[in-house]
Amino acid sequence: MRKIWIFYCAMPHICCASRCFNTPQQGYALVRFPKEDRYRKIWSDALGENVSSKRSLENLRLCEVHFEPSDLLIVGSRKEVKKNAIPSRFCIAFLR
Ligand SMILES: [Zn+2]
């Protein structure tokens, strides 16, 4: 259990959304990109830039604030997003 916790804290991930720097250390849940190509495409389109060209999607995380609260699930002590959840809350729209 202790090992898992240390591994979690040591993960250098921050949210991949533009102008968002939320980290798990700040108490935000970060989620991986979906495995299905269809949803990966929808997520990268939602991010508004070609994120797949920057880094492998495997290494990207998106934080919980970009999802509707109804799309979040509590699993044990962790938060996850529903399988078909689509991120929709980004600050990009406000800056245009
Ligand atoms: Zn974020």
Q: What does 13-80 look like in DSSP terms, one character per residue?
A: --B-STT----GGGT--EEEPPSSHHHHHHHHHHHTS-HHHHS-GGG-EEEGGGS-GGGEEEETTEEE
**List of residues 6+ apart from 95 with CB closer than 8 A:** none
Per cent of the chain over pLDDT 90 is 33
Sorting pLDDT into bands at 50, 70 and 90, what band is 55?
low
Question: How far is it, in rounded angstroms, from Cα 66 to Cα 72?
Answer: 10
This prediction's pTM: 0.74
Distance 26 CA to ligand 1 centre (A): 11
pLDDT at residue 66 in the model: 95
Distance between Cα 53 and ligand 1 center (Å): 19
Q: Quick check: 9 pLDDT over 50? A: no
Instruction: Examine the pLDDT at 94 and tell me if it is beyond 50.
Output: no
Q: In this predicted model, what pLDDT tens digit does every residue of 58-82 receive, in sequence order?
A: 788 999 999 999 999 998 988 999 9
Size (the chain), residues: 96
Ligand 1 centroid, distance to 81 Cα (angstroms): 13
